[in-house]
Structures are given as structure tokens and as C-alpha cells.
Structure 1
Amino acid sequence: MKITRVETIVLTLPMLIDGATPMLGGRARTSIDMLLVRIDTDAGITGWGEAFGHRIFPATRAAIDTILGPMCIGRDPSQIAAINDEIQRVLHGIGRSGPTIYALSGIDIALWDIAGKVAGVPLYRLLGG
């Protein structure tokens, strides 16, 4: 099985809050952004992850779309540790915090989702829970 596509999808969800509106950077915060990571395989299995980032999601998305996602294309999604190690080596040159580590997290979660689907068990069971 090979990875054929890594896609990022932004979801903007309204914040429905009773009481005072929270502030972020001096502005009222009326929505929250989520960055989903979708990894497709040539076997028709899709894995989903979430790359945290909220207001800095454009940087996280750019890291996935331009650097990390293309590194995954053609790789075997079951090789989670090897993919993670290679990405960590690349991140050494650009930083291993903030948006880049959020990007790695989203990819990692999607790969584990694929692993659970391939094994036919819930992910918590695959991880020993």
C-alpha cells in the first residue's frame, strides 16, 4: 500500500459562548479554526488527523502542503516510525516547534488512523488500550 495524496482541509467553526466573548490578540474571537489532514492510499483507505494551530493554521498548512505532505507521497503508510524519523530530520533545519510540529502531529494521527483501519480494530486497541 502506498500514500497517494496528503490534503489539508480548514474548518472554521463558530464559537457559541454564553457570557463574555473571548479575546485573542485584542480582537473578539467568534470562531475557531481547525486544520484537518487527509491521507489517501492506493488501497482506497483514508486516514484523518488534526493539526492543531487555530490562528496560526496557515503556517501549519503551508508546512504540510509544501514540505511534509510531498515527503509522504509514495511511502508505505504502515512505516509510521520511519516517516516520522525522516520528517524529524527535515524539521531539524527549519525548527521543531509550533506550526511544524503541529503539522507532523496531523500527519502522524492520520497514519495511525490508517493503521487502525487496516488492522480492522479501533485505534485505542491497536495501541494497547
Structure 2
Amino acid sequence: MRRINHMPLRAALLAASLGYAALFTPGAQAAGPQAQSQYQKDVARCHNTPGIDVQACLKEAGAAAQAARQDKLTQPSPQVEARNRDERCDSLPTDQRQDCTTLMGDTDARTQGSVQSGGVLRETTITIPAN
């Protein structure tokens, strides 16, 4: 009679179930239904977005959920967002830097995609006067 050892599989399933159980403990519930709802959306996005590393995505979703439980998720100030926009454009050649800054600050720019899907594409029209 042949005996198959399922211990590695059992250990993995136990670890996964303990990880999920931690999400439903009173501390996780204290973060509020909004944080739990966001986590569930993030997990669904991990499983439904083609071309991404699902394990890395789930790890990031768990880290964000943990930060939410610890009240460590913050929204950057307008000054920090402006500095980040400027820093994105600083690496471009000088002749493209002003267009980049204009695009990043244009509230009417057409935006497609998301960070979660791998990138944001911004489109605007910049009129260049004739010489």
C-alpha cells in the first residue's frame, strides 16, 4: 500500500486559513466595514486582472488591509501630491518637462486605466503657436 504525504499541502492550507481568519477578528472588524469591503474588492481585482502577479497583488492587498486596521493609511496632502507630480516630470528632457507638468496638473485631461491595472494614461491637448 502506497502512502501519500499531504503535510506540505495541509500546512499551506492552514497558513492561508489562519491569514484569512485574522482578517475577520474583532481587530479587523474595528477597522470598519469600509476597510473590509475595500480588501474584498482588492482581492477580487487580484484574481480578475489579467497579466498581474496574483500572489504579489494579494500580498499588497493584505498589507493595505493591515495598514487600514492600524489606521496607518493616509491621504497625501495637496503639497505632497504636487511635489510627486513635479518629480515625475523632472526625469524628462527639458523640452518635454513643461508639457509633462501641464498634463499632470490638467484637471480636464482625459484619464484611462488605474494604478491597480498597471498604469494611468493621461491625454490632453496642448496648443503650440506657429513660428
Scaled to the shorter chain, the TM-score interval is under 0.3
Q: TM-score, normalised by structure 2?
A: 0.25
Q: TM-score, normalised by structure 1?
A: 0.25
Q: Which has the higher strand share?
A: 1
Larger radius of gyration: 2
